[in-house]
Structure 1
Amino acid sequence: MTEARPAMWLVEDDDTRIYLLGTMHALPAGTEWDRGQIARAIADADELILELSPEQLAAAGGVFRNLAPRKAPLAIDKRLAGPALARYRQLEASGTGQPFGGDALDDWAVMVAMGQRVAQNARLLPANGVETRLTERFRDDRKPVGGLETAQEQLMLFETLDPATQRTLLARAAEGAGDAVQEVATLTDAWSRGDVAVLERMINEDVVAVPAARAAIITDRNRRWSAWVVRRMDRPGTLLVAVGAGHLVGADGLPALLEAQGLKVIRIQ
């Protein structure tokens, strides 16, 4: 068993409390993270809000299959070259060795397939992830579980990235594929310690060099979600909002954006 203490914040006024928990969507078996202040938040909250509701998460596979194919196949060796291509092939041959089918996929969808293989190689499973376990807890307690986005909205963030940005992201992912399992382990360890400085550095390394991707995948979403929190503060109640840990760190993370709008935000774990 591994005991984790991920970072969590509380936004509150006289009649509304909103916990903000940074999640890992997949974790190793035996990771215990739902103790301490998180256990209190789970017990206190009237409702759980995730990036995707359980219904939208169930629909995501079908949305992916609809959006991911290219209009015309393009061989991976026409998109990648040198070390990037070699590391892509090594990752494809690892684990189950099941081919990614990348020739038929958009660049962003190839990255999704690569990310799934890295998670498998690192023995990270969505079934052990924070969202899965939170959903089970809230449903067992007959408390509602909602979402901030639809599966279509979320995947269209990638589908609508311009081709040059998609190609840059794919090349960077392929170039780093050899170290990806260790990088994921380091990221998971930082999350477990609540080390937001390391989380911010590692997440920024992934996207800060690609401004269009950072805006679409992180910054713009954080602004929409912070506006949602501000509106929700007008109604009484207690909520637990659990989104990917990368959305809660740095100057454009949710806690910082909400504090800048005059809300009372404190880190409680």
Structure 2
Amino acid sequence: MLARSILYRRWGRRFAAALSPLLLAACQSQPATEARPAMWLVEDADTHIYMLGTMHALPAGTDWRGGKVAAAIDAADELMLELSPRELAAAGAVFQELAPRSAPLAMSARLPGKALAGYRAIEGDADLGGDELDDWAVLVMMGQRVAQQVELSPADGVEAGLTAAFRKAGKPIGGLESARTQLMLFETLDPATQRALLVRAAENSASAERDVLSMTDAWSRGDANALARVVNEDVDEVPAARKAIITDRNRRWSDWVKARLDKPGTVLMAVGAGHLVGQDSLPAMLAAEGYKVTRVQ
């Protein structure tokens, strides 16, 4: 089942690990660490929406529930994730439907020398089936292999923990997108953009572990500026991907927040940390429109 594969690369392994719960990999564990991720609050007179930046896969035992997060969990009437539990469960089947190419194409025909060598290094003694897959799906398979080395676990990710907590409390859990909508963001990237991402991923594969750990560390410290630098360092060189996967989604989600503010209550909105940092972040968009947005952790 490929529903939880991290799309890693010098660009994507940082970027998508912070953004998409579809793109995770089931791996082993690392020693427990304490994390205090950044969180914002947007509110009006009778509505409070906490916006928590998540990592969808983490070292086993990571303690991210302390500080203000625990209070937000207790206060919230509902949880809003990128994908509801039902949609996340459906993601594997959607991936298997969308990922195959219409006709096989050898990786040696897609990648120049350095990139091909990098791909083979990641592949190792496993057969990733790249010849049969679209370029974006090859990135997912590469991500699985890299994630095995950095030992991240989706079972220890923020979404998994929040889902368990809200289910135990009998509180509703919703989703901003469907599994198909989320994967179609990658499927519908133009071929040149997909190929550029794949080539860059393979060419820079040697630094994969270091980069994803740097992203996890910045998230753990709640260092929004450092996290923004990590996420933006390479994605700015792929404007079509940034627009589709970050900016446009943030606009849609800001519309959801504005509509939800018309209804009283308290919501915990937990989305990939990359959506909450940078100039086109969700908090920045809302603040620019005059909404009261406060960083609370």
TM-score, normalised via structure 1 length? 0.97
1:7 maps to 2:33: no
Deviation at residue 98 of structure 1 after TM alignment: 2.6
1:243 and 2:262 are equivalent in the alignment: no
Amino acid at match of 1:117: R
Give 2:165's aligned residue: 137
1:230 CA drift (Å):
0.5
2:16 paired with 1:16 = no
Deviation at 1:225, TM superposition (A): 0.3
Matches within 5 A, 1:79-228: 79-93=110-124, 97-228=125-256
**Residue number in structure 1 paired with 2:59:** 28
For residues 49 and 256 of structure 2, what CA distance do their matches in structure 1 show? 11
Q: Distance in 2 between matches of 1:136 and 1:4?
A: 19
Alpha-carbon separation, structure 2, partners of 1:205 and 1:69: 30
* Corresponding residue of 1:60: 91
Q: What is the CA deviation profile of residues 36-63 of structure 1, one whole-angstrom value per residue up to 9, with x for unaligned ones?
A: 1000000000000000000000000000
Unmatched 5+ stretches in structure 1: none
The aligned amino acid for 1:113 is M
1:131 Cα deviation from its structure 2 partner: 0.4
Map 1:62-77 → 2, pairs under 5 A = 62-77=93-108
Aligned to 1:231: 259
The aligned amino acid for 2:58 is L
Partner residue of 1:46? 77
Residue 206 of structure 1, CA deviation? 3.3
Give the ranges of 4+ consecutive aligned residues of structure 1 lying more than 4 Å apart after TM superposition. Answer: none
> Could you tell me how far apart the structure 2 residues matched to 1:117 and 1:27 are?
16
Q: CA deviation at 1:87?
A: 1.0
Matches of 1:22 and 1:206, distance apart in 2: 20
Q: Distance in 1 between the 2:55 and 2:156 partners?
A: 9
Please give the alpha-carbon distance, in whole angstroms, between the structure 2 residues aligned to 1:237 and 1:91. Answer: 47
**Offset of residue 118 of structure 1:** 1.4
Distance in 2 (alpha carbons) for counterparts of 1:14 and 1:154 = 33
- The CA RMSD over aligned residues, in Å, is 0.7
The equivalent position to 1:257 in structure 2, one of 257, 265, 285, is 285
State the alpha-carbon separation in 1 of the partners of residues 103 and 234 from structure 2: 28
| CA distance in 1 between partners of 2:60 and 2:272 (Å) | 19
One-letter amino acid of the counterpart of residue 159, structure 1: E
Q: Give the CA deviation at 1:202.
A: 1.1
Matching residue's letter, 2:154 = P
Give 5+ residue unaligned stretches, structure 2: 1-31
In the comparison of the two structures, how many residue pairs are matched? 266
Deviates more, 1:197-206 or 1:66-75: 197-206
Deviation readout 1:89-110 (Å, 9 max, x if unpaired): 11111xxx43110000000000
